[in-house]
Amino acid sequence: MLKKLLVVLTSMIFLFTACGEKAETKKVKEELVIAQDGEAKSLDIHQGNDGFSLRANRLIYSRLVESDENMQIRPGLADSWEQIDDKTMQFHLRKGVKFHNGYDFTAEDVKFSFERMMNSPRIAFVLPPIEKIEIVDDYTVNLVTKTPFGPLLAHLSHPALGIVSKKLLTENPEALKETPIGTGSYKFKEWVYGDRIVLEKNEDFYDKNEKGLKYIVFKNVIEASNRAIGLETGEIDIAIAISSVDEENIKNNPKLQLLTKPSISYSYIGMNVQKSPLNDVRVRKAINYAIDKQAIVDVILNGNGKVATSPIAPGVFGFTDKTKNYEYNVEKAKELMKEAGYENGFTTSILVFSGEANTQTAEIVQAYLREIGIDLKVEIVETSAYWDITEKGRHDLFLGSWGVVTGDADYGLYAMYHSSAKGGAGNRDFYENKKVDELLDKAKIEINPETRKELYEEIQILIVDDAPDVMLYNRNLSVGAQKYIKGLGVHPVTLHNFATVYVEE
C-alpha cells in the first residue's frame, strides 16, 4: 500500500513540475508588428503630416484633446475645457504628466508648442486661427482665436498638433530629429530607415492600456501581396491597406480577421494647374471625361468603394450631394482637346509612389488617356521623393489621397484648395480661385452650422467645375489582423490608435 502511495505521489510531483516548466516556457507576446505601405516622413510631430508619420506620432505625442475611431472628442492632456466667450476656450491640464525623458509637462509647453506649430509650413494650416495662448497658471491655458471658429476641438484633435517639451527644445532645437520625445502612450526606441520604426510602451502614460503590448513595430511592406503573405505566415499581426484581391482570402482564413469601415478619405488624380497645358480647364475636363472611374473602382477596389462625387467624402461635415463626377465620355473629351488646341494630344507624366494598386491605377489611366492622344508617362518613386517633388511643384499629374482627419470640411477643403496652402501644406494642385479663397475664409469663421454647410456646398460646386482633380473614389477601409488581435478600432482615415490593442489567445 505504502509503495503504491509513493508511486502516486511521485507521479503527481512529476506532473506538477512538468506543468510548471510548461508555464514557465510559454512565451508572452511582446511585439505588435504592423505592416504599412510606406515610410514616415518625420517623427518631429510638427514636420510630418503624412499618414505614415502620423500613425507613429499619434502614439509618441499627446494632444490637448483626442478623437477616437468614431471621431468623438475625448480628453487628452486637457482633462476638461470650457468656452469663456465666442473666441476663448479655457483648457484645464492634467497634473503629474511627464515627457518620456522625465521633464514635467506644464502650461508653458502648451504655449511653446502652439507657437512652434504656427511657424511650421507643414501644419500651420491645420491650426485654428489662433490669436494667442494665455497662461492662466501652470495647469490652465486660454486659447484665444482671432475669430469665432466652429470646428475648434475637431482641429485640436488632429494627430499633428502634439505637445512638445519647451525645456527640451530650448536646450536643443534639433532634439526631435534625433530622438522624438513626447508624453504619449509609446516611447520612441529606434528607426531603421527603409525598414521599421520601433516604439516602447510608456508605463507612466496617464491613460495606459494595461493589456497593451510592450513594443509596437511599424514595418515598411510596400507590396500589398507581401503584407497579406506576412499575415498568413504569422510574421505580421496587423496589415494596413489590404488589397481587394486579398480580402476574401483573409475572410476565409480561420486564423485571421478582416476589419472594415467606410472611409472619409478622397482618392484622386491631382493636376499641377500652374503647368501648361494643365493650366487650361478644357484640358483638365477632357482628362476627366476620358477616364472611366467606375471601372477603376471595379478593378482596383474590386467594387469595394464608390466613385467620388465631391472633393470631400460623405460622412464629412459639409459634404454636398449637389455635385457629380464627370461621366465617361471619350467623344466629349476629344472635343475639348480639339477646342483647347491639342487635337493631336501631348506628352505628360503622372507621379505615383510604389505599390501594386498605385502602379495599376496609373497604368489604367495611361491607357484611357492614350485614347484622346495623351502620352502619359508613369513615374514611380519612393514615398519621400514623392512628397518632395509634389511639394515643390515639379510634377505634372500625381495620384493622391486626402483624409479629412478632423471630420470637418474646413480641413478637407481649405488645405487642399486654398491658395495659401500651395505645396507642402496640402494644395499640390497649386490651384487658385479667388472666389473659392473668399468662401473658404468666410466658412472658417462662421459658427452657424447651416450657414457653413451652404458655404461649403458653393465651394464644392466651384471646385468641381474648375476640375483641378480627377475625382476617383471613396473607398471602404480594410485592415487585416490575426484573430487574437483585440481592441483595434478602425479609424476612418486609417490613423488607427494601436495603443488600445491587446492580445487574447
| CATH number of the domain encompassing residue 36 | 3.40.190.10
Q: Residue 112: inside a domain, yes or no?
A: yes
Cell numbers at 342, concatenated: 491639342
57/70 same-domain check = no
Beta bridge partners of 3: none
- d(CA 245, CA 229) in angstroms, rounded, equals 12
Task: Specify the pairing of strand 397-403 against strand 265-271.
Answer: antiparallel
Q: How many CA atoms lie within 13 A of 4 on its CB side?
A: 1
- At 250-264, the pLDDT tens digits run 999 999 999 999 999
Q: Specify the pLDDT at position 23.
A: 46
Nearest CA among 417, 35, 70 for reference residue 227: 35
Cell numbers at 216, concatenated: 509596437
- At 408-430, the pLDDT tens digits run 999 999 999 999 999 987 899 99
Task: Specify the pairing of strand 215-220 against strand 31-36.
Answer: parallel
208/130 same-domain check = no
- d(CA 218, CA 496) in angstroms, rounded, equals 12
Q: Residue 367: inside a domain, yes or no?
A: yes
Please give the mean pLDDT across all residues of the chain: 92
Tell me how far CA of residue 222 lies from CA of 288, 382, 485, in angstroms.
29, 10, 22
423/313 same-domain check = yes
Q: Is the predicted pLDDT of residue 24 greater than 80, yes or no?
A: no
- At 158-200, the pLDDT tens digits run 999 999 999 999 999 999 998 999 999 999 999 999 999 999 9
498/366 same-domain check = no
- The torsion angles phi and psi of 50, rounded to 5 degrees, stand at -90, 155
- At 277-325, the pLDDT tens digits run 999 999 999 999 999 999 999 999 989 899 999 999 999 999 999 999 9
Q: Is the predicted pLDDT of residue 21 greater than 50, yes or no?
A: no
Q: Specify the pLDDT at position 26.
A: 59
Q: Specify the pLDDT at position 295.
A: 97
Q: Is the predicted pLDDT of residue 18 greater than 80, yes or no?
A: no
Q: Specify the pLDDT at position 404.
A: 92
Q: Is the predicted pLDDT of residue 19 greater than 60, yes or no?
A: no
Provide the residue range defining the domain that includes 441: 263-476
- At 69-97, the pLDDT tens digits run 989 999 999 999 999 999 999 999 999 99
Q: Residue 13: inside a domain, yes or no?
A: no
212/323 same-domain check = no
What is the average pLDDT across 342-358? 93
Q: Residues 146, 87: contact at Cβ < 8 Å?
A: yes
Q: Specify the pLDDT at position 361.
A: 96
Q: Specify the pLDDT at position 25.
A: 52
DSSP at 280 = S
Q: Specify the pLDDT at position 290.
A: 98
Cell numbers at 484, concatenated: 487574437
333/468 same-domain check = yes
Q: Specify the pLDDT at position 12.
A: 45
Q: Residue 37: inside a domain, yes or no?
A: yes
- Tell me: cis bond preceding 173? Omega within 30 of 0 counts: no
275/357 same-domain check = yes
Three-state DSSP class for residue 480: strand
Q: Residues 215, 189: contact at Cβ < 8 Å?
A: yes
What is the average pLDDT across 473-491? 95
Cell numbers at 421, concatenated: 496652402
What is the average pLDDT across 340-365? 94
Cell numbers at 285, concatenated: 475636363
151-178 burial string, b = 16+ CB within 10 Å, else e? Answer: bbbbbbbbbbbbbbbbebbeeeeebbee
What is the average pLDDT across 478-502? 95
Quick one: pLDDT band at residue 48, thresholds 50, 70, 90?
Answer: confident
Q: Is the predicted pLDDT of residue 15 greater than 70, yes or no?
A: no
Q: Residues 49, 190: contact at Cβ < 8 Å?
A: no
85/205 same-domain check = no
What is the average pLDDT across 1-30? 49
Q: Is the predicted pLDDT of residue 123 greater than 50, yes or no?
A: yes
More confident: 65 or 304: 65
Q: Is the predicted pLDDT of residue 1 greater than 90, yes or no?
A: no
Q: Residues 468, 438: contact at Cβ < 8 Å?
A: no
DSSP at 421 = G
Q: Specify the pLDDT at position 14.
A: 40
Task: Specify the pairing of strand 238-239 against strand 469-482.
Answer: antiparallel
Which residues, at least 6 apart from 437, have a Cβ–Cβ distance to it below 8 Å?
418, 419, 420
500 alpha carbon, distance to own chain's centre:
18
Tell me how far CA of residue 210 lies from CA of 69, 77, 198, 501, in angstroms.
20, 19, 19, 10
Counting the structural domains of the chain, the total is 3
Q: Is the predicted pLDDT of residue 333 greater than 80, yes or no?
A: yes
205/292 same-domain check = no
- d(CA 329, CA 342) in angstroms, rounded, equals 17
Q: Residue 177: inside a domain, yes or no?
A: no
338/397 same-domain check = yes
The CATH number linked to 325 is 3.10.105.10
Q: Specify the pLDDT at position 49.
A: 84
Which residues, at least 6 apart from 130, have a Cβ–Cβ distance to it below 8 Å?
114, 118, 143, 144, 145, 146
Beta bridge partners of 48: none
Residue 43 neighbours by CB distance under 10 Å? 23
Beta bridge partners of 397: 271, 350
Place of cell 488646341: 341
- At 216-248, the pLDDT tens digits run 999 999 999 999 999 999 999 999 989 888 999
365/495 same-domain check = no
DSSP at 499 = G
Place of cell 521623393: 385
Cell numbers at 217, concatenated: 513595430
Taking the whole predicted model, whether its pTM rises above 0.75 is answered as yes
429/300 same-domain check = yes
Nearest CA among 88, 56, 155, 53 for reference residue 415: 155
Beta bridge partners of 257: 481
Q: Specify the pLDDT at position 244.
A: 82
